[in-house]
Amino acid sequence: QLQASGGGLVQAGDSLRLSCAMSGRIFSSYVMGWFRQAPGQEREFVAAIGLSSSGSVLYTDSVKGRSTISRDDRKSTVYLEMSSLRPEDTAVYYCAADPVRSVYYTVSDKVADYHYWGQGTLVTVSS
């Protein structure tokens, strides 16, 4: 199970930290991702992080430089810190988990590659 939290109403330019806790699974063996979905739009990739041993991270261009994804395997939690928020960042943010099955795994930006999804947390950025 994935439980996302940390969303809310913020002003443009503010910062926010989203959290997503995993339970019932071995968190350290999953690639973790954040996606978002704005009203009337498809779900899109935001950021992803590989296993702690790799340090691999991936960001979509629109958040690169103002977002940081991180993980804490002891707490089975992944975080997404976003700064300089813009109205176009408004969306429901979902965390997702992709089980690692090979040492040759990749950090994916594709919705279809993620097997488990949280319920989403709404971020609203007012101008």
Q: Tell me the per-residue pLDDT of 58-103, one tens digit each, with 9 for 90 and over.
A: 999 999 999 999 999 999 999 999 999 999 999 999 999 999 988 8
Distances (CA, A) of 18 to 11, 81, 82, 83, 104: 16, 6, 8, 11, 29
User: Is residue 64 classed as helix, strand or coil in its secondary structure?
Assistant: coil
Q: Could you tell me if 84 and 13 are in contact, meaning their C-beta atoms sit under 8 angstroms apart?
A: yes
pLDDT in tens, 28-66: 999 999 999 999 999 999 999 999 988 899 999 999 999
